[in-house]
Amino acid sequence: MNIDFTKSALLEVDVQNDFCPGGALAVADGDSVITPLNEIAGRFKTACAPVVATQDWHPAGHSSFISSGRTPAEGEVLWPDHCVQGSAGAEFHKDLDMKPVTLIIRKGFRPSLDSYSAFFENDRKTTTGLGAFLKGLNIETVYLGGLATDYCVFFSAMDAIKLGFTVYILRDAVRGVNYPEGSVEKAIHTMKNAGVIMI
């Protein structure tokens, strides 16, 4: 892989304990994204290129939790309590190398609004600031890995395309929830059609 580090950023999505085996919203094999992410992050670090880690960061009782008692909207999925601010489950996995990380974006911290994407919250309007941050660094290309393929990675990749970035998904550095069944395949298909490149 030939990366132009002068205009590329690495985005590591939600590599947190709750999305790894043993966590509250465990993604099958979720921790296997860590080794490939550390390897590529090391290369970004050597080049002093930006590495952004996102952290799902919900207040207790968040509206995306089943425990909120809320009736989900059509097509909306509610989740077990996960990534509660300050909890062990919200911490980055201990094996994720944080030394290369130059920015941590926390998301999903508004009680009534979730944020799957690293760029825009689920109202599709509220920004996290990440797009402006990357544009401010003259970044044109985003390499993406992490959890979960069919939710936070998917929405981040689609928004990155919408913002005009060239987007590469690191195929061995993503894992999915696959709920509902088939959602990983559907996400990959939709991303490819939108111009996301799988490598």
Active site residues: 14, 107, 152
Task: Take residue 74 and report the two structure tokens written for it.
Answer: 């059509």
Find the shortest distance in angstroms from Cβ 77 to ligand VGL. Answer: 7
31 touching ligand VGL, by CB under 6 A: no
Beta strands 141-147 and 103-107: pairing type? Answer: unpaired
Find the shortest distance in angstroms from Cβ 134 to ligand VGL. Answer: 19
Of 168, 73, 174, 155, residue with least CA distance to 115: 155
CA 65 to chain centre: 18
Contacts to Zn ion by CB under 5 A: 56, 108
105 touching ligand VGL, by CB under 6 A: no
Contact of residue 148 among Zn ion, ligand VGL, none (CB under 5-8 Å per partner type):
ligand VGL
* Integer Cα distance of 48 and 42 in angstroms: 10
* Integer Cα distance of 109 and 121 in angstroms: 10
Task: Find where tokens 């559907």 sit.
Answer: 186
Contact of residue 18 among Zn ion, ligand VGL, none (CB under 5-8 Å per partner type):
none
Q: Residue 51 or residue 152: which is nearer to ligand VGL going by CB?
A: 152
List all residues 6 or more positions away from 75 whose beta carbon is below 8 Å from its beta carbon: none
Pick out residues in 142-161 that bind ligand VGL (CB under 6 A).
147-148, 151-152
Contact of residue 11 among Zn ion, ligand VGL, none (CB under 5-8 Å per partner type):
none
Contact of residue 152 among Zn ion, ligand VGL, none (CB under 5-8 Å per partner type):
ligand VGL
* Integer Cα distance of 87 and 71 in angstroms: 26
Which residue ranges make up the site for ligand VGL (CB under 6 A)? 14, 19, 56, 79, 147-148, 151-152
